[in-house]
Structure formats: C-alpha cells, structure tokens
Amino acid sequence: SQTIHQWPATLVQPVGSPLSLECTVEGTSNPNLYWYRQAAGRGLQLLFYSVGIGQISSEVPQNLSASRPQDRQFILSSKKLLLSDSGFYLCAWSVGREANEKLFFGSGTQLSVL
C-alpha cells in the first residue's frame, strides 16, 4: 500500500532563517506531488506541484521554492523565512494518470516563524 511521510511535524524558526521540509511517498511510482499551505482558519493554498523529477510548477510567487530530486521525494525550501510564511504545510500525492484523481495527504508540518 502507498504511504506518505512528511517531517517535521512542528517547526519554530526565526525570521530570515532557511527552511527545508521534506516529503516522501512509498508504494507508488511517478506520482504527482503537491505542496499546500493553510493559514490558521483558512482554506488550502496550492504552492507547488510536480508531475515528474525536476518538473516543478509554482502557483504562487513567493520566497519559497520546491524541488523534486527523486521520483518520490518532494522538498519545500526557503532561503529566508518571512513572518507570513507561518502556517500548516501539507504534502500530497496523486496517481496523476487517471480522470478520477484523488489526493492523499501527509500529516502536515506546523511552521511558526517568529
């Protein structure tokens, strides 16, 4: 069966510090991968999605970046965090080749930038 791992679960970082969040998927190959962010009490905002290694599409211009160095690994990074980067970050995957697409989410990372 497929599983998705996301870490860390919580993170407190000072403004201006770098960020690296990692997500890995097991049990499937060539998944579509996604990073979402959710501000407190708000809906999910799609940040990045990837359909293959090295293929990243950005939905929202910002100081975040994403990389996909391996087929089932997706990394969210920042060189200098802003206060506005605080939020709940979710990684998700989908099969990516079916009309009835379903998303499967990781457990999320609660990021607090102070």
Partner 1 sequence: LAKTTQPISMDSYEGQEVNITCSHNNIATNDYITWYQQFPSQGPRFIIQGYKTKVTNEVASLFIPADRKSSTLSLPRVSLSDTAVYYCLVGPNTDKLIFGTGTRLQVFP
Please give the residue ranges that form the binding site for partner 1 (CB under 8 A).
32, 34, 36, 42-44, 46, 49, 51, 57, 59, 88, 90, 92, 94, 96-108, 110
Q: Which ranges of the chain does DSSP label H, i.e. alpha helix?
A: none
CB nearer to partner 1: give 77 or 96: 96
CB nearer to partner 1: give 43 or 61: 43
Burial annotation 34-70 (CB, 10 A radius, 16+ → b, else e): bbbbeeeeeeeeebbbbeeeeebeeeeeeebebbbee
> Least CB distance from residue 30 to partner 1, whole Å?
13
